[in-house]
Structures are given as structure tokens and as C-alpha cells.
Structure 1
Amino acid sequence: MTTPKRNNRLGLPSAALVGVLAAASALAAGHLAAGLIAPRSSPYLAVGNTAIDLTPQPVKSMAIDLFGTADKVALLVGMALVMLLLAVAAGMLSRRGPVPGMVLIGLVGLVGMAAAAAQDLGPLGLVAPVLATLAGVGAFDFLHRATRARAASPAERRSPENDAATPGDIDEQHAERAGGDSGSTGRRRFLMSSATVAVAAGAAGFGGQVLADRKGVRASRQAVGPLVPARRAPTIPPGADFTKSGTPPFITPNPDFYRIDTALSVPQVGTEDWHLRVHGMVEKELNWTFDDLMRRRLVEKTITMTCVSNPVGGPYISTANFIGVPLRDVLLEAGVRPGAEQVFSTSVDGFTAGTPVDALLDPDRGALLAVSMNGTPLPAEHGFPVRMVTPGLYGYVSATKWLTDLELTTWDKRTYWEERGWAERAPIKTQSRIDTPLGFGKVPAGRVTVAGIAWAQTVGIARVEVRADGGPWKDAQLADPVNIDTWRMWRTELDLSPGGHTIECRATDRSGYTQTPERVPVVPDGATGWHSVFFTAT
């Protein structure tokens, strides 16, 4: 009689656990190494940032439409799910032996190394993904051995039940019956090994986060102290908004200010480490520290910023009081050479933008190297310690955060978003939005209040009109103006019968231009069209 060959494959739950714990070990080790060297070199973040850079523009626009300012959270969650599936796959492929899983982990590690290299982090940027790969492969091999030792305990190998078993998985209940005390010992060894790896991964991940936080900017922001501009912005008049009618407050609180950028993790740059280089087509190159910048003349301006990704009626528009150094002063001190067409700005995370030189030299526009927002140093997520703010231009060409370099050059040098199909120049378009009633909402029939905002930065809003159900246009009441670089609130009242209604709005700026009804998407230089809202009067 031939004895059936013993099957020593890992059970499905055990194999999956081996893969997941090995992946966690890899990510934690990489995060710890990155915390010691450079937080952006963490493999998880490096892959995410590279994914952002390589994602086609239509997909990016769709992500913003679907998730709004939570698009980066959605990306991180999606990456976590993919990593989880790959980890489980590594375990499933390695039920008979560890090699397939180790190879898969190694391949994923190579992706992390390539992503770190693509982020231009230098040779040290590869340390974290290399250590992550080694930790993942090592943890997988260690756990696989421990699991197989548990599955093939001495008592199990002696068991008549095992000799007579048909091919299949060795599950925990069978091991208990077959192995007795030795099976319990194998199980304890497996659980101890798994717990050890889990605890080590957790400690490494926590340590990496602590180290990254120490490189944070909280203390640096607090050390900036009060900023007293040589020229303050005019006081916002009480009638500048219609919040009781449903508009936003005129000044957007910092936590509510929209955020759209390419940074998966917020760059952490302290004032003591910050520097700015102004070079290229200039008479004199400038190299400033933060203290050098603070010795310049500071001014305060109230400015409404708008994102080019804002769809018709969208939320990506906010207003703040910014304090900073006039960019015109900086360029005049450097001396702009003839032929310079754009100021090519670079962020510490590698993002680039191109702003027309003539816009920055315009004394009436008042572009800033901003250091403060609504009375406090810039929040980290809004560009601390220094960012650009340029009225009248969409942010992707004029509002570089975490600024570190300004190069005077020609339009031949292409920026981050130009390489992805967006326009070279992007003046903000005259637009308006309905804030109340809400779309598909219900309101009492009769006298209905309609309110919203309009904007035409550097020109100013002169008129807003509203109509219901395609009827005649009616002039809305405008809130008190603040300046031509800010939004303007409006409201009106309409008498509406019970049933469904569609209201539309359109704005006319001070040049006499009335916004077009033609609907165009955000690419390549901003959306246009009349905003409309459907609701029901009951």
C-alpha cells in the first residue's frame, strides 16, 4: 500500500496574514527611515506623489469632481487597498514556499525605488525604499518559516491521520487533533512570531511619524511672531456680505479656505531652513533667508483666490487678508532684463508655475510673496513659510506654495501644468454662483430669497442679474464693494409659485463684459457658463 504524500501547504488565512504583516513591515520600515532622512522619501508617499504626476489630466479632473479637496485622501485609501490586495496575493502565491511572495514584494519595492528616484530626492531618497524592501522580504521569509513550522509540527508528522489524509490544507483544528502539545507549541510559536512582527511594524511606523512631526513647522510658525505691515488693508465694511441670506462670510476662515495642489503630504519647511533664490534674466541675483525677507516692506491686501479646477458654480474660491512683500519690489531690486517673459516659480516639492512678468510688475495688481493669512503665519497646508499670491490669475500659474525659487526666463520653459495640457496664461474669468437655494432642495412657495457671489478679479463686479425659468432678467442687490480683487456678494427675491423652478445668474464686470452662457470645461484655462439651480417650491 502506497502512503499518500503529505500536503504541507499553508492555510489560506495564515498565508494571507503572512503577506499582510510583511507588507506592513515594509511600509513601517520605510516610514521610519524616511522620518530620519526626508519624510517625502517614504515609499508610500513617493509612490503616491509619482502617481499624481503621471495621472492623465482627465483622470485628475474626474478625481477632483468626485472627491473635491479630499482627492488626496481618496488616493491614499485607494493605494492602501491595492497594497492590501498585493499583500494577500503574495501570501496566496506562497502557500508551498516563500519565493513567489518574496519576489512580488521585491518587485513592489522596485516600484517604490523608481518612485523615489522620480521625485528627485537625491541618493539619500533611495535609502527608505531600499530598507523597506529588505524589511518586507525578511519579514515574509521569517513569518513563512514560522507558519510552516507550526503546520508541520513533529507530532503532526507522526500522526496516522496525517499519513492517511487526502491532499488539502492543514487547518488549525486538524493540527490540534494531530499534534497535541507539539501542535500547541507550533501554534504559540506562530502567534508569537506574528505578534512580534506586528508590534515591530507598529513601533517603526509610529517612530517614523514622530520623527516626521519633529520636522514639522508648528514651532517655526509660532516663532514668527506678530507681523505688522507698513500698509494695512482697508477694514471690511459691515455690508460686504449677505451671510444671513445664505452667502459665505466675506473673509474665509483659514480652515475653510479651499486647498488644491499636487502635494500628497504637506511640505514641512521651517523659517530657519527656508531660502529664496531670484535668478535668470536679472541684473543681480538675489539669495534671501526668511529674515532677509522680513526686513523688506510688508503690506496687507484682501484678495480672492480662485482655482482653475473650479467648475461653473463650484466651491474652489475663497478670500483672505494676506500680508507679504510686494513681488514688484523684489523684481525691481533684482533688475529684470529685456526679453524676460515669465517668472518661473518652484516649490520645495518640485511643483513649478509660470507667471507673466508684466503682471508681477504691474503696480496696480499688487502680487505678494505672502507670509501671513488672516492675521497668522501661513498655515503649513497653504504654503508656510512663503507663497505667491497674484490677484486676477488662476492659482496654477501664479500662487506657488512653499516657494523656494524664482527664475526670470522666457515662455520656452514649460511648467508642471503646461506639460499636462493646461494653458500658458490663465486670467480669471468673470463668473457668478448661486449659493441659495440649494440645488434639488425645497423652499416655501411665495417670496424666495436667492443669493450668491460673483467675481472678476482686477476688474470688479458692476452688476448681477437673476432669472427664473427662462423669464426676464432681474437686477440683484450688490453688497458693499471691498476692492476689485475680491468677490462680491449679491441677493434678490423672487415670487415663485408651487412646483419646480430653475434659476440662473450672470455677472457683468466693470469693463462692461457680461459672462458668457457658453459652457466650457475647466481645461485648459477655466470653465465658463451661467450657473443654474433647480429646486422645488412647496
Structure 2
Amino acid sequence: MTIDHLSRWRRAIAGITAAAVFLGVGHLVAAFVGPRSSPFLVLGATMVDNTPEWLKEEAIRRFGTNDKLALFVSMAVVMVAGAVVIGMFAGRGVRGAVVLVGFGALLAWLAMQRPGATALFALPGLIGGVVSGAFIYGLLARIPARSEREATAGQGLSRRGFLLAASAAGVLAAATVPAARWIGTHLRDIVADRAAFLLPTPRAAAPAVTDAVDLPVPGITRFLTPNTEFYRIDTALQVPVLLSTDWQLRIHGMVERERRLDFDDLRSREAVESVLTLTCVSNEVGGPLAGTATWTGYRLTDLLDEAGVDPDADMLLSRSIDGFTAGTPLSALGGGLLAVGMNGEPLPQQHGYPARLIVPGLYGYVSATKWVVDLEVTRFDRAEAYWTRRGWSAEAPVKTAARIDVPSGFARLAQGPVVVAGVAWAQNRGIAAVEVQVDDQPWQPATLAAEYSTSTWRQWTWQWDATPGTHTLRVRATDQTGRTQPEARTTPIPNGATGWHSQVVTIR
């Protein structure tokens, strides 16, 4: 057998290994330039920005907070397939090298289009393309057009030599991931920075959460959500690394005085503490994308008053370090915070360290910008935020919702007394009543826990004398304006889901 026509498996291995070298080298260079310039993350962010909204929403519905993992796995599958194609097309290596260098140039250009990019963002793609192009050329060009027997006699790469070279390159490419992490950690030690962060002491602590608010019912959602359990939905494929010493907040636009604040400026101001419930607009009926925490920070209205807001302005356009934007009505900022603490500690990195916005009563996509660095006072008819450009509503007050936590769906229970319990929310309006229905029987009033505030969710319970059979439990809530949740189910797009949550259980 001659090696002039390389076997398909060799071509496939060459393409896959070259792609790994491309990504590995690019990721390593990005550790010095900035993590967001990594070719893998640039490609992923570009895919996210150009994915149809229905597909994004379906991914969140199916995978929840694992939506980014699902994206990475999908990208890996597509990249492997693309790498195999490159290997088949590579010939003796020249064509493959040209494709990889060209792809590197494309990714360099895409990196330059990312928000906040500098000229250095082009380097990971360019260097990754050149190194991987040289690798695939060197790997394939060294295999002579002679028999395997002659090759093993020392006149070129043998099959064993090919496999050794490819394996060594694959191992080195894989090693760039921990190497880049190590370099990034030592260049930007976010763990040490957060550990040294001094959380401001509020003038008055938030009222304590009592047992009347947080009911001791097994299985019910706890009133305060631990940081480790708080949902995370955002557009950042890699959690941004922003040190408190590097952080600045620019306030500009329709203001009398543009301001730039750092943490020294903030610490001279009065801090406040508030317990607030956040809800993601992607939350399906009965979904888990809501949580309550104690937030420490500074009143947004105070910061904006210092800048002098133009009376004609009606929107605050907030921007994250990674380019995400949210448009918040100025009229909704009462109670809004520039938050720096969560449940008594500095913000976790994945939840926006060192600073983020929290505005009660609005879905997060128009109010809860993490890693915030820019506040522009403007108008809704002059600016559009990230999600509103993609078809979501510009203004998004949280809709009234209720959820059954216990019993869980398809639970099998003994007949007799059964506790049905859960949470309901209608931020800024408050919950007035919760009702439970069994099958098609009349609605029954649930017992509400004490209200902490209208800006938080509220627990509820109902005692059911369960009879044998399969039953459907439903729940609905009424807010303090007198409006009851509609029965009709709608999808989260464009401004939040509606409908009654239900659970099917079997009583023995």
C-alpha cells in the first residue's frame, strides 16, 4: 500500500489534532491578552449573538442553567466534524494550512468586533492559525509517496511516527487549558481580590427573616436562596474576570455632569441592604429560575442624582464588561441598587463581582446587569439593549406567578393529610392570595406565610385530605392589585410566561 493516498483515518486525525492545536495555542495566548479573546469563546459568543431567539429559549427550557454546557458540547461536536473535513481536504498539508490560517484570520476579525476589544484581541486567532497551519503541513508533508516498508526504513514518518506526533500535539494542546488557567489566575487573581474585598456596612440592616416568613415545611423553597444555589442565566460564555482595583463605573449620556466612580468613591457613600427576589424572563411556568437574596450596595437613584438626570430621559442603559446591555425605565429605579454584596459576602464572581445592578419588580434581562461598568442615561426611542434588539419587550415587569414545590410531580403518597406548599411572587405588587385546586374541584384558599415585603416572594401552604387515585394539583395567585394569574399558558417570549402550575400525584 502506498502512502501517496493517505488513509482517511490519518487525514481525520491530522485535522482533529491541528484544530486542537489551533484552539490550545489561541487559548494560551488569550491568557495574556484577555480571556474573552480566546478563539473558542469568540466563536461561541458569535454563535450566541446570531442564534435565533426561539432556539436560545428552547435551549434554556431544556437545559436550564446548563445551557452553556450544552452549547460547548454542541460546538465541540461541530468543531470535530469541521476538523475532519479540513483533514480530508488538506492534501499533503498545504491546503489544510491555508484553511487554518484563513480561519485564524476570520476569528481574529470576529474577536475585534467583540465589545471592549482592543487590537491585541486579534493575536490569539492569528497565532493559533499560523501554528496549527504549520503543524498540519509538517505532519502531512513528511509522509512520502512510497510504501510503508520504505517509510519505516527511515525515509519519512512511519505510521508509528505519525501517531506519536499527533498524540504529542494533542497532549500539549490539552495541557494549554490548565496552563492558561494558571497564567490567568496569577495575572488576575480574582480569588485573592474577592477575599480582600471590604463589604460596606449599611447604615441599617435589612429586617430579619423570621420563622413566620420562612416556614419550616420539608421540601418548600427556602425564603433566602444560598449563593451556591442561586440561578445563573446570562450571555457570558466564560465568567468575566474584573478586579475591584480595575473597576470603574462611568455615568454619562443625558446628564449634567459625567461621572466616573471607583470603589474609593463608593465607600464614601451610604450603603444600604435590601432583601429582593429576582426572576429570569426565561422561567417557564413552575420553573426554578427565581431566587431571593440579601443584597448590599448603593442606591442607583443617589448615584444618578449626583450626575443630574435630564428630565427628558426615560431609560438607563447599563453595560457589562463583556458588552451585554440592559435598558431599564428610569421610573422603575426606586429601590434599585448598584449591588456589591450578596447574602453577607462580596458578590460571587458568577453573579457579577465586583458590581452589578439589582432592580426590584423587573425581569433580569432589563434590570440585572452583572459586571456592570457603564450607565448611560438615554431614551427608549434612541437606544436598544441586547435582548430588545432580538425581539423581547423593552419594558418587562415581573408577572404574577405561583409554584408547587411539594409534593413533587408524579409523587406516590399515602392517603390522608398531605401538605401542599410552594412560593408565589408578584414583585412590587405583593401577593394577596394563593388558591389550590384538586382535579376539577372548587378552588381552595391556601395559607400565606407572613409577607416580608412586596418585593419578595411569599411562601404558602394548604392541607389536603388526599383520597386514593391519580390527581392533578393546580395553583394560582392573586396580586395585591386584585389581578389573578391567567390560566392560558404562554411561552417566555417576549415578556415572560403565564399559566397555572400543576403537579400530578398518585395517592395509594
- Taking a change above 3 Å as real, the CA distance of residues 245 and 193 of structure 1, as seen in their structure-2 partners, is closer
CA distance in 2, matches of 1:439, 1:378: 34
- Taking a change above 3 Å as real, the CA distance of residues 441 and 107 of structure 1, as seen in their structure-2 partners, is farther
* Counterpart for residue 432 of structure 1: 402
* Counterpart for residue 357 of structure 2: 388
2:152 and 2:158 in contact (8 A); partners too: no
| 1:327 corresponds to which of 300, 310, 320 | 300
CA distance in 1, matches of 2:74, 2:101: 21
* Counterpart for residue 405 of structure 1: 374
| 1:456 corresponds to which of 413, 423, 426 | 426
Spell out, residue by residue over 1:176-223, the C-alpha distance to the aligned partner (whole angstroms, 9 max, x if none): 5x6665489834543443344234424434322222233241111111
1:398 Cα deviation from its structure 2 partner? 0.8
TM-score normalized with structure 1 length? 0.90
> Secondary structure at 1:233's aligned position in 2?
coil
Spell out, residue by residue over 1:377-412, the C-alpha distance to the aligned partner (whole angstroms, 9 max, x if none): 001110010000001111111111100011111112
1:245 and 1:449 in contact (8 A); partners too: no
* Counterpart for residue 415 of structure 1: 385
* Counterpart for residue 167 of structure 1: none
2:93 and 2:138 in contact (8 A); partners too: no
Spell out, residue by residue over 1:430-470, the C-alpha distance to the aligned partner (whole angstroms, 9 max, x if none): 11111112222322223222111000111211211101002
Give the aligned residue type for 1:100. Answer: R
* Counterpart for residue 269 of structure 2: 296
| 2:228 corresponds to which of 255, 260, 263 | 255
> Where do residues 187-198 of structure 1 align in structure 2 (5 Å cutoff)?
187=159, 189-198=161-170
CA distance in 2, matches of 1:100, 1:441: 60
Spell out, residue by residue over 1:322-353, the C-alpha distance to the aligned partner (whole angstroms, 9 max, x if none): 00001111111111111010111111111111
| 1:511 corresponds to which of 469, 481, 486 | 481
* Counterpart for residue 49 of structure 1: 45
CA distance in 1, matches of 2:265, 2:182: 31
1:347 paired to 2:320: yes
1:237 Cα deviation from its structure 2 partner? 0.3
> Where do residues 92-491 of structure 1 align in structure 2 (5 Å cutoff)?
92-94=88-90, 96-120=91-115, 121-146=117-142, 148-149=143-144, 152=146, 156=147, 175=148, 181-182=153-154, 186-187=158-159, 189-214=161-186, 215-360=188-333, 362=334, 366-412=335-381, 413-491=383-461
CA distance in 1, matches of 2:247, 2:345: 18
* Counterpart for residue 170 of structure 1: none
- Taking a change above 3 Å as real, the CA distance of residues 438 and 111 of structure 1, as seen in their structure-2 partners, is farther
Unaligned runs of 5+ in 2: none
Give the aligned residue type for 2:344. Answer: G
CA distance in 1, matches of 2:93, 2:343: 57
Percent identity, aligned pairs only?
44
* Counterpart for residue 166 of structure 1: none
CA distance in 2, matches of 1:184, 1:124: 39
Greater mean alpha carbon deviation, residues 101-110 or residues 130-139: 101-110
1:48 Cα deviation from its structure 2 partner? 0.4
CA distance in 2, matches of 1:179, 1:295: 75
Give the aligned residue type for 2:95. Answer: P
1:449 and 1:493 in contact (8 A); partners too: yes
Spell out, residue by residue over 1:454-508, the C-alpha distance to the aligned partner (whole angstroms, 9 max, x if none): 0011121121110100211111111122111111011112122222111111111
1:305 Cα deviation from its structure 2 partner? 0.4
- Taking a change above 3 Å as real, the CA distance of residues 336 and 6 of structure 1, as seen in their structure-2 partners, is closer
CA distance in 2, matches of 1:21, 1:322: 47
CA distance in 2, matches of 1:444, 1:526: 36
> Secondary structure at 2:212's aligned position in 1?
helix
1:50 and 1:118 in contact (8 A); partners too: no
Spell out, residue by residue over 1:285-329, the C-alpha distance to the aligned partner (whole angstroms, 9 max, x if none): 111112211221101100000011111111100000000001111
Give the aligned residue type for 1:44. Answer: F
1:25 paired to 2:21: yes
1:230 and 1:297 in contact (8 A); partners too: yes
- Taking a change above 3 Å as real, the CA distance of residues 267 and 253 of structure 1, as seen in their structure-2 partners, is same
Give the aligned residue type for 1:116. Answer: A
1:283 and 1:334 in contact (8 A); partners too: yes
1:47 and 1:111 in contact (8 A); partners too: no
Give the aligned residue type for 2:379. Answer: T
CA distance in 1, matches of 2:507, 2:110: 54
- Taking a change above 3 Å as real, the CA distance of residues 317 and 180 of structure 1, as seen in their structure-2 partners, is closer
Unaligned runs of 5+ in 1: 157-174
> Secondary structure at 2:182's aligned position in 1?
helix
CA distance in 2, matches of 1:291, 1:492: 50
Aligned CA RMSD, in angstroms, stands at 1.9
TM-score normalized with structure 2 length? 0.95
2:93 and 2:139 in contact (8 A); partners too: no
1:117 Cα deviation from its structure 2 partner? 2.6
1:242 and 1:248 in contact (8 A); partners too: no
CA distance in 2, matches of 1:395, 1:496: 38
Greater mean alpha carbon deviation, residues 185-194 or residues 276-285: 185-194
2:59 and 2:67 in contact (8 A); partners too: yes
1:227 Cα deviation from its structure 2 partner? 3.1
CA distance in 2, matches of 1:184, 1:418: 59
Give the aligned residue type for 1:514. Answer: T
Give the aligned residue type for 2:363. Answer: Y
Spell out, residue by residue over 1:74-120, the C-alpha distance to the aligned partner (whole angstroms, 9 max, x if none): 111111111111112222233x4223323432443344234313313
Q: Point out the structure with max Rg over C-alpha.
A: 1
Spell out, residue by residue over 1:15-43, the C-alpha distance to the aligned partner (whole angstroms, 9 max, x if none): 22211111111101101111111110000
- The aligned length equals 505
1:241 and 1:247 in contact (8 A); partners too: no
Give the aligned residue type for 2:452. Answer: V
- Taking a change above 3 Å as real, the CA distance of residues 62 and 185 of structure 1, as seen in their structure-2 partners, is closer
2:429 and 2:480 in contact (8 A); partners too: yes
1:9 paired to 2:5: yes
Give the aligned residue type for 2:359. Answer: T
Greater mean alpha carbon deviation, residues 30-39 or residues 215-224: 215-224
